[in-house]
Each structure stands twice: as structure tokens, then as C-alpha cells.
């Protein structure tokens, strides 16, 4: 597609279960970002990929969170043993290179019950 695609768009999961969120960036974009947006809050940086390398993982909230990226393509954000405080919209963005315009997906709304 022409834009950043995220799936699923909505996910309801039980506390303690693992979830996997997917991001398909725009083809050719080398930089990929994951952010978390809690209800009524700003964007919280999670992780950044340049290619398939993540030079900065400091934004991941805990060791329950992990992310990987295959080449300069799809990325997955995995949350293990989900907690209610993980409920948020998870946004993915990609850009041609670092600090060129970032294009955002529509997000995955995660609800942990």
C-alpha cells in the first residue's frame, strides 16, 4: 500500500497474555519508529530502527516489551504478560531516512482486560 499499515487495528486481550503488533512501513523507508499513546496523552517513544538495527532501546517500558524488524521491512512489537497499564494506542511511523518526514500508521488500539 501507499501508507504505513498496522495490524490489527484493535486488539482486546486478557491480562497475562502475550500480544504481537505488526507494522508495515512504506517501501524504501529505512527509519521506523514505535510510539505509545495512552488516552488523552502525548506520544511516548518506545524504539527506533535504522534498517533492522535498533540503536536505542531505552524507551521500552520494561523487559516485557521487545521489537524486531526484518531488513527494511515489517516490524513487530511484542508485549509479553500484558498488564492493564499496557492499554493504549501503539503507533508506528516510518521515514525515508532519519529525520525526514515521518509517516504514521493509524495505530493499534490495545485493550487489556
Partner 1 sequence: AQSVTQPDIHITVSEGASLELRCNYSYGATPYLFWYVQSPGQGLQLLLKYFSGDTLVQGIKGFEAEFKRSQSSFNLRKPSVHWSDAAEYFCAVGDNNNDMRFGAGTRLTVKP
Which residues are near partner 1 by CB under 8 A?
Answer: 33, 35, 41-45, 48, 56, 59, 91, 93, 98-99, 101-102, 104-107
Instruction: Compute the least distance from the CB of residue 59 to partner 1, in Å.
Output: 8
Nearer to partner 1, 25 or 107 (CB): 107
Nearer to partner 1, 80 or 103 (CB): 103
Q: How many residues does the chain have?
A: 113
Instruction: Compute the least distance from the CB of residue 105 to partner 1, in Å.
Output: 7
Written as nine digits, the cell of 72 is 527494511
Instruction: Compute the least distance from the CB of residue 95 to partner 1, in Å.
Output: 9
Instruction: Compute the least distance from the CB of residue 99 to partner 1, in Å.
Output: 5
CA-based max dimension of the chain: 38
3-state helix, strand, coil in the chain (%, to 5): 5, 50, 45
Nearer to partner 1, 18 or 85 (CB): 85
What distance, in Å, lies between the first and last C-alpha atoms of the chain? 32
Q: Which of 85, 78, 100 is nearest to 30 (CA)?
A: 100
Relative to beta strand 75-79, strand 19-24 is antiparallel
Nearer to partner 1, 49 or 82 (CB): 49
Amino acid at each position: 500500500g501507499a501508507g504505513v499499515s498496522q495490524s490489527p487495528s484493535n486488539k482486546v486481550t486478557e491480562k497475562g497474555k502475550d500480544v504481537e503488533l505488526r507494522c508495515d512501513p512504506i517501501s524504501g523507508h529505512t527509519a521506523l519508529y514505535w510510539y505509545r499513546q495512552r488516552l488523552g496523552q502525548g506520544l511516548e517513544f518506545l524504539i527506533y530502527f535504522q534498517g533492522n538495527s535498533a540503536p536505542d532501546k531505552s524507551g521500552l517500558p520494561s523487559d516485557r516489551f521487545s521489537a524486531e524488524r526484518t531488513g527494511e521491512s515489517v516490524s513487530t512489537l511484542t508485549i509479553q504478560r500484558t498488564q492493564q497499564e499496557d492499554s493504549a494506542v501503539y503507533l508506528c511511523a516510518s521515514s525515508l531516512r532519519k529525520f525526514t518526514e515521518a509517516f504514521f500508521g493509524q495505530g493499534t488500539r490495545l485493550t487489556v482486560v
